[in-house]
Structure 1
């Protein structure tokens, strides 16, 4: 059996007629930049996130960068984040001229460990970026307590966590901003690059709206150094078709996560550590990520059996060559190092069948037995 990591074909087939009409409407309107589709998506995502403002941008990486710039992060500042995340989190910090300062993760959630943050705060610290990895939010109460105590900004990297909650509150309700990625593989994915920032703060929303259009307001008058990062109208049209289905798709992901967990605990409890949904959180399972020994061997075996997997992430950011000048070394963040050796993500998408999931688990069982 072939089990892909992600298959978007059935989703498109179900939405095809509506999708083609939405795209044709954009082309017929000839309004391709910051039109009605972008405005509608901004309004809907802001309401969904229970905040008043949303700013559509070109991608999730720009969303982090623009958030930091709006919060005043600049050369000489420090921004605290996790080394166990996609490169864009720390890359956005560096592009502001600031220094990424890494803090190790909680081994249960893979998210930044809030109890290790305060010791890394210095007079140069301007912001914290917690990453809601794999679809489960970080411990935001404690993070906000620390940030408020020291007067620093919080930018939630929610690229993988749209629809997730912590103590009943959505991404964006805690931090000064929260950033979404609509990369095609995400729970709400465009047909290309797209991103969005949500916020409770009118002044930040205004700054970010200006930054995304070359820092221009009014047009051709530039008071800040922005750049071109507008959410494309065609991608917004795609996302407007998909958005009403997001909650349904998230619940299907959760149901499939339950199936994986039940199968794995029944057959491989001593070999596989399954993901834990913390009791005060609502996990949307962008990824279903397990911990195993002999991870790379398992991945190679599953590939031979037709099962696709991904490793998020094989090399923590503190030891990436591009950040060598920061002076970190392997072993500085033992939980991140351990996760990089053990974590492997199994196929996960709303249309995944129980038959496919059973086959995946049977293959894992055969490998270890």
Structure 2
């Protein structure tokens, strides 16, 4: 593993401030023995529901499980279709496929890299059961418009909120106005557990009831199995970690936004483009995407940054319709041109709430140095 001067992650930084309060609670929990669900999980669920604005929350094992259980809970079954965007993480489409449904992709937009909602109505068909919009890289989709499209088409809206904890759309937190919001709290996320963790949020009592059954073997009571379920429960240690971090999320988002603003200002004269279109509070900058003019330039810039100790990475280098896992869909190169261009032209600069002035300046100077600009 390369020892980076500016790494993309700094997990330890978040725990230093929490150590005195969190470690004794973990010790008490280990001695108590109630490791799965229980009071710490219930307390986090209540706190996260309050943070979101008063919806139901169920803690789960992972963000991937959140997507699978949410689609199951809203009635996606084998033979159905689920519409989503071609440039997202694999789990978004995997969840539909794991239920026996067919992912149906639409392209994204050049300006904000988000799902092109103009294309969604034409993608809806007689077998469409749900649409999954993705708040990608931390920027919120227009949820109000997505709700209208789904209502007109008679289908269910689900949000993939894995990268956008705290972001707002139309003044509302994402994950609160659709049938289900799906959350990941894996270590790289803006609200991060010390391992895998996830959740589903929903304003719909029936969806909440079904998710509660699905995550716990389909049983309302011990040894009474009402439906076929899963084993996907947020463990108590991860719930403690998340509860201790939750109050800091909005401050961390503001700090990420300040880093992003500095990047935009200091790199504005270069032949680079950025994810655009976010109003205040609509972007929490899970990732900071930079778009170059070509794959050749992108790859050279990544190499240059890494050679200078900056942990720049590419997310996502192959759009979903070109992944071998979805080869049976028969989709060819050229089908979703914007997603394909973003896959080869974008890279992520390090963005963390603890980046200091020296880190930011060094990243910007190194990018400008690549272009020969002082």
**What's the TM-score once normalised by structure 1's chain length?**
0.97
Describe how 1:118-197 pairs up with structure 2 within 5 A.
118-197=121-200
Aligned to 1:37: 40
Deviations 1:206-251 (A, max 9, x none): 1000000111122212221111000011100111111111111111
Aligned to 2:254: 251
Could you tell me how far apart the structure 2 residues matched to 1:326 and 1:274 are?
31
Structure 1: segments with no counterpart, 5+ residues: none
Q: CA deviation at 1:22?
A: 2.1
Could you tell me how far apart the structure 2 residues matched to 1:343 and 1:281 are?
23
Could you tell me how far apart the structure 2 residues matched to 1:366 and 1:196 are?
42
Q: CA deviation at 1:88?
A: 0.4
Q: Secondary structure at the match of 2:289?
A: strand
**What's the TM-score once normalised by structure 2's chain length?**
0.96
Could you tell me how far apart the structure 1 residues matched to 2:277 and 2:187 are?
25
Q: Secondary structure at the match of 1:88?
A: helix
Q: CA deviation at 1:279?
A: 2.7
Q: Secondary structure at the match of 2:248?
A: helix
Q: Secondary structure at the match of 1:130?
A: strand
Q: CA deviation at 1:277?
A: 4.4
Match of 1:225 among 225, 228, 243: 228
Deviations 1:122-163 (A, max 9, x none): 010000000000111112122111101122111100000010
Contact 1:51 1:172 in 2 (8 A): no
Could you tell me how far apart the structure 1 residues matched to 2:239 and 2:126 are?
40
Could you tell me how far apart the structure 2 residues matched to 1:251 and 1:201 are?
30
Q: CA deviation at 1:281?
A: 5.3
Q: Secondary structure at the match of 1:285?
A: coil
Aligned to 1:288: 288
Runs of 4+ in 1 over 6 A off after TM superposition: none
Alpha-carbon RMSD across the aligned residues, in angstroms, is 1.2
Match of 2:55 among 52, 55, 78: 52
Structure 2: segments with no counterpart, 5+ residues: none
The answer to whether the aligner puts 1:275 opposite 2:275 as a matched pair is: yes
Describe how 1:199-238 pairs up with structure 2 within 5 A.
199-238=202-241
Deviations 1:68-115 (A, max 9, x none): 000010100000001101100000010010000000001222111100
Contact 1:301 1:367 in 2 (8 A): yes
Could you tell me how far apart the structure 2 residues matched to 1:205 and 1:339 are?
36
Match of 2:365 among 318, 341, 362: 362
Contact 2:60 2:215 in 1 (8 A): yes
Could you tell me how far apart the structure 2 residues matched to 1:173 and 1:34 are?
23
